[in-house]
Amino acid sequence: MSLEIKVPAVGESITEVILAKWLKNDGDHVEMDEVIAELESDKATFELTAESAGTLKLVAKEGDTLEIGALVCKIEEGGAGNAESEKPEAESEEKTEEKPANDSKSEAKETTIKVPSVGESITEVTLTTWLKQNGDYVELDEVIAELESDKATFELPAEAAGILNTVANEGDTLAIGAVVATISGGAKVESQKSKVDSVAPTEKSGTSYADKSPSPAAAKILAEKGIDTKDVKSTGVDGRITKEDAMNAQKVDSSKAKVESAVSKTTGNTSAPAIAGARDERREKMTSLRKTISKRLVTVKNETAMLTTFNEVNMAPIMELRKKYKDSFKEKHGVGLGFMSFFTKAVTEALKDFPAVGARIDGEEIVYSNFADVSIAVSAPKGLVVPVIRNAESMTMAEIEKEVVRLAVRARDGKLGIDEMTGGNFTITNGGIFGSMLSTPIINAPQSAILGMHNIVERPVAENGQVVIRPIMYVALSYDHRVIDGRESVSFLVKVKQLLEDPARLLLGI
């Protein structure tokens, strides 16, 4: 008996994962609940366990992007699986001997390719690009098209090997379960196709309707490059220009060719001058995390009325306080006294006076919170993550510093859980650690505001009619104008400035 192991649901907002690593090999014996693989989403890493004991049969490969519910592997329970697998093989050999060699009809079959389910809330997708053309021979699991929903882009693989017969067109909006294409034949069809090509080469070499005709995807690429189809080498069926042909095509600059020809006639030198220095390029596929970050940032820019207000903070009082007490603070609490705890406490106090800054839009309602869950932006090896400090308003400076260190270490080790990154009603990001003087941070949706910290630079300022040098930090508050008015945003930032320039107010709550 064979048990199918599928990608489990790992969170409401996660629709796909990456098979990061197989911990067991194909054919290994595994025990029930034994960890067999590691799955990675845009937020965290998960372990995949065996749901029964038996022999492992791998289906997905390391690096594959799998949707929730997709088949990962199978487990043949006990020894029955091997015996059963051998029996059909013997029977198939006997049937092969009995079957006439020229019975192509018995071998030919047609597989229907439909739009797969790509998420509970997704009811339709758009066929953006055909990666294979009508009449092309495709292999099993070869990607033939790209589908796009309102949330993500998905690849459509071939469910069998054979000749592709496209049904839908690029740009079509298709419902889940709609027919996209069919695949007919298989190895028999491929051999017949090659036989026809070898018997009648003169027909293929002749002109056909597809000769020098680009596919829709190829036509788009050639138009962007400004290349004529007659200057493109075609490798598709009947001389059709494929997407790969278009990507490899180079524009012929006729004016440049004429100048080079004139120069070569004058100088007698027919070779182009050598270009000094390396001109290598490197391409890397975007990770699931990077793609998710990109989509969310663009969504925030497009769907919020985002503005940024600025102010400057004299950091001298905090720096003097840290210098005076940092050793005794670390000795007592076992953690250093950093700037983040001061900023977090200042934000939590300011949110009490201006609750709209910590609010969010939910449908047609604005949700206000009487607590401060502060998100801290952390730069991890795989990208930017934003873990949350829960109920920061009730924590001491030492407790905040310890939580910041704990979350930062887990982020850099890739061990953050979904519960540690979801929620939050305000975000603090510190670009100053990388040397940023000023920036306009992007809101962390669905929150309505984010505070940007920057580097500390000694600048001349006027105090009591005198020019003095002070360590100044520029701070920026980006906010959603749909929720927060200008008066509230400016007043909030001024309150944060006052609390930081007079840290005693943090203790007194004024």
482 neighbors 304 (Cβ within 8 angstroms): yes
Residue-wise pLDDT for 219-230, tens only, equals 777 777 778 777
Q: Going by CATH, does the domain composed of 205-248 fall within 4.10.320.10?
A: yes
Residue-wise pLDDT for 359-400, tens only, equals 999 989 999 999 999 999 888 777 778 999 999 999 999 999
Residue-wise pLDDT for 171-218, tens only, equals 888 888 889 999 987 544 444 444 444 444 444 444 555 566 776 667
327: annotated active-site residue = no
Options 2.60.120.560, 2.60.40.420, 2.40.50.100, 1.10.390.10; CATH for 2-98 is 2.40.50.100
12-16, 164-168, 264-268: which has the highest mean pLDDT?
164-168
Task: Please name which of 123, 121, 178, 122 lies closest in space to residue 145, comparing C-alpha atoms.
Answer: 178
Q: Could you tell me which CATH number the domain at 105-194 has?
A: 2.40.50.100
Neighbours of 226 (CB within 10 A): 7
| Burial group, residue 446, by CB count within 10 angstroms (0-12, 13-18, 19+) | middle
**305-508 fold:** Chloramphenicol Acetyltransferase (3.30.559)
Tokens describing residue 498: 């006052």
CA pair distance 497, 32, nearest whole angstrom? 58
**pLDDT confidence bin for 124, thresholds 50/70/90:** confident
Q: Of 64, 253, 481, 502, which residue is the catalytic one?
A: 481
28: annotated active-site residue = no
447: which DSSP letter? B
- Does 105-194 match 305-508 in CATH topology? no
Q: Of 172, 353, 419, 485, which residue is the catalytic one?
A: 485
Q: Per DSSP, what are the bridge partners of residue 157?
A: 143
Mean pLDDT over 391-417 rounds to 90
CA pair distance 178, 181, nearest whole angstrom? 9
> Which residue ranges make up each domain of the chain?
2-98, 105-194, 205-248, 305-508
